[in-house]
Chain A
Amino acid sequence: AIQMTQSPSSLSASVGDRVTITCRASQGIRNDLGWYRQKPGKAPKLLIYAASSLQSGVPSRFSGSGSGTDFTLTISSLQPEDFATYYCLQDFNFPRTFGQGTKVEIK
């Protein structure tokens, strides 16, 4: 199974900050990666698919980049609703595998 490793596991930031989260795959997965945000007690929400495509209805402060093994999610200006946990998920093969998550907390 492909291992997905996110970093950092957690970070503290303030409203308005620029935040970057990284996901590394144990083998090349082309651009077959998505990013999800999960607020406490809620279901995950798709933010980015195909590594860099913004899902419909998602604010433009979210962006994704990367291909092969290294991927990045960037939030250009952190908003109060963005304090949550973020996961990457590879869409390359089965079994599907998530990163372990990155918790974004209020500084």
Chain B
Amino acid sequence: QVQLVESGGGVVQPGRSLRLSCAASGFTFSSYGIHWVRQAPGRGLEWVAIISYDGSNKYYADSVKGRFTISRDNSKNTLYLQMNSLRAEDTAVYYCAKDRRDYELLSAFDIWGQGTMVTVSS
């Protein structure tokens, strides 16, 4: 079935780096934009970044711009989020989410992963 599975979360010290992965299955990964969305403990949802179906377009939230990099490997059906210079306020559950419409940049998110927890603490 259509599925997204995140991995790579954990506990990391402030200023350090972490890379998250999101493995896709059950759909043509290379046809869809994919997003990262995060949720701090007890807080609401915050959109983080998107990468277009072919990797040619990327957009970021101001809160992560210059520190986080989104990428994808369509040959491996996998999305990545490289997180550098991590801060305490980056502590959150990170979800990957698929665009509902293929080849579109602006679309609802119809499939979500289960999330991976990132804790930034000394």
> Are A and B genuine complex partners?
yes
A residues engaging B (CB < 8 A)? 1, 32, 34, 36, 38, 42-46, 49-50, 55, 87, 89, 91-101
Minimum distance in angstroms from A14 CB to a CB of chain B:
25
Name 18 A/B residue pairs within 8 A (Cβ), A-sorted.
A32-B106, A34-B108, A38-B45, A42-B114, A43-B95, A43-B113, A44-B37, A44-B109, A46-B100, A50-B108, A55-B110, A89-B45, A91-B106, A94-B106, A97-B47, A98-B44, A98-B46, A100-B44
CB-CB < 8 A to A98: which residues of B? Answer: 44-47
How many B residues touch A, CB cutoff 8 Å? 24
- Is the contact region of chain A dominated by helix, strand, or loop, or is it mixed? loop
Task: Give the A-B contact count at a CB cut-off of 8 A.
Answer: 64
CA of A49 to CA of B100, assembled, Å: 9
- Judged by a CB distance under 8 angstroms, whether B59 is at the interface is yes
Q: Give me 15 other A-B pairs in contact (C-beta within 8 A), A43-B112, A49-B107, A98-B46 excluded.
A: A36-B45, A44-B45, A44-B97, A46-B110, A50-B108, A91-B106, A94-B50, A94-B59, A94-B106, A95-B59, A95-B60, A98-B47, A99-B44, A100-B44, A101-B45
CA separation between A98 and B108, bound complex, in Å? 12
- Complex contacts, A99 vs chain B, CB 8 Å: 44
Closest to B113 in A: A43
